[in-house]
Structure formats: C-alpha cells, structure tokens
Amino acid sequence: MSKIPAYLQRGYITPEELFSIIPKPSEERLRKRPVAVPECPQEIPCAPCREICPTGAISMPTPNDLPVVDYEKCIGCSLCVQICPGLAFFMVHYVGDKARITMPHELLPVPERGEEVVLLNKVGEPVGMGKVITVVPREKSKGDTPIIVVEVPIELAWDVRAVKVVRE
C-alpha cells in the first residue's frame, strides 16, 4: 500500500506539508500586497478559481490538476477566496508585525468590521484574539460566501484559518 499523506490521516495540513507541494510566497511578496494561497493539495475535478481569476494567475492544465498560483501575477483581489467551493483559498498579507488573513466565513454571526474575534487554528483551537479589518457580506461576494479579513500576530499567519465570534 502506498504511504498515506499525514494530512489525510489528520484532516489538516501543516505549512511544511503545504509548501512541499506548492511554493511559498516570498517575504517580499507577502509584504507588497495580499496574495492568494490555495490549501488544496488533492487532484479533485474543480476549476472555479482558475475560471474567475482576472489575471490568469492560477495555472491548472485540467480541472483535475492542483491550482498553482503565480504570486507575481496575483493582484490580491480575493475572487478565488469568494468562489472556491472547498473554502480552501486564503489570502495572506504581512503588514508590520501583523498578518492580514482573508478567509471565508459561512457561519453566524458574521463579524462586524473592527470587531475583536477569537482566532482559531487549523484544528479549531483558540490561539489568540484578532481584529476584523474588512467584511465582504454574502450579497457582495462573487461566490455567495461572506469573506473577512482578520489581523493576526505575524507568527500566526500560517496557523489561523477560522474565527469565532463571541458576543455577550
């Protein structure tokens, strides 16, 4: 039997595993503007990200190939994050000692701009608090999925992939 990748045994992928499959954007690129990073390591028949990308930054010869983003062509528009049926696209942007993570948020309540939210890592553990910078509501999202931009400590840039809204 061929070896089962660890991420398929656990259900989440570590940054090391991900970047052994696709290249990591350079520090310089991450500082310039938001860049789209697909956390989509399997060959599944799916292509909306490639079809919606306005700059042709996503290469995928057939729908069964992995999406690979040309980080130089990516303009950080977030359309892929909005459309992705697997909710597997994220954008990362380094700003000072913070990172801004763009992520889908298909849960209630949808946080408000400026709200402090609990940051969740890839296994749903709370790892700190972060501030919501931007909210694109469902009605304005290209893929019927609300997306949010959350500011997190830079060292959590590759850990935080969800948030929890806690209101009194």
Partner 1 sequence: MRLNEHPVLRFEHGREITIYFEGRPIRAYEGETIATALHAAGIRVLNYSPNEKRPRGLFCAIGKCSSCLMVVNGIPNVRTCITLVEDGMRIERQHGRAKLPREAKPPEFRDAKVVTADIVIIGGGPAGLMAAIHAADAGARVVLLDENHMLGGQLVKQTHKFFGKREQFAGVRGVEIARILEEELKKRENIEIFLETSAVGIFQEGDEKLVLAVRKNRELLEFRGRAIVVATGAMEKMIPFENNDLPGIYGAGAIQTLMNTYGVKPGDRVLIVGAGNVGLILAYQLIQAGVEVKAIVEAMPKVGGYFVHAAKVRRLGVPILTRHTILRAEGKEKVERAVVAQLDENWQVTPGTEKTFEVDVIALAVGLRPSIELLHQVGCQIKYVRELGGHVAVRDEWMETTVRGIFIAGDSAGIEEATTAMLEGKIAGIAAALRLGIANESWVKGLETAQRDLDEFRSGPFGRHIADGIRKILAEVRA
Binding site for partner 1 (CB under 8 A): 4-5, 7-13, 39-48, 51-52, 62-64, 83-88, 106-108, 110, 120-125, 138, 143-146, 161-162
- For residues 141 and 82, what is the distance between their CA atoms, to the nearest angstrom? 6
Minimum CB distance to partner 1 smaller for 9 or for 28: 9
How far apart CA 59 and CA 31 sit, in angstroms, is 23
Beta carbon of residue 55, minimum distance to partner 1 (angstroms, whole number): 17
Q: Which residue, 15 or 63, is less far from partner 1 as judged by CB?
A: 63
Minimum CB distance to partner 1, residue 122 (Å): 5
For the bound state, the minimum distance from the C-beta of residue 23 to partner 1, rounded and expressed in Å, comes to: 19
Closest CB to partner 1 among 41 and 76?
41
CB of 140 to partner 1, least distance (A): 15
Q: By the 8 A CB rule, do 45 and 66 touch?
A: no
Q: Does residue 142 come out as left (phi exceeding 0), alpha (psi in the -120 to 50 range) or beta?
A: alpha
Complex with partner 1: residue 30 or 84, whichever CB lies closer: 84
Query: What would the two tokens of residue 12 be?
Result: 């989440």
Find the shortest distance in angstroms from Cβ 114 to partner 1: 21
Phi, psi for residue 81 in degrees, rounded to 5: -65, -40
Comparing CB distances to partner 1, the nearer of 21 and 72 is 21
The SS3 call for residue 89 is strand
CA 160 – CA 133 distance, rounded (Å): 15
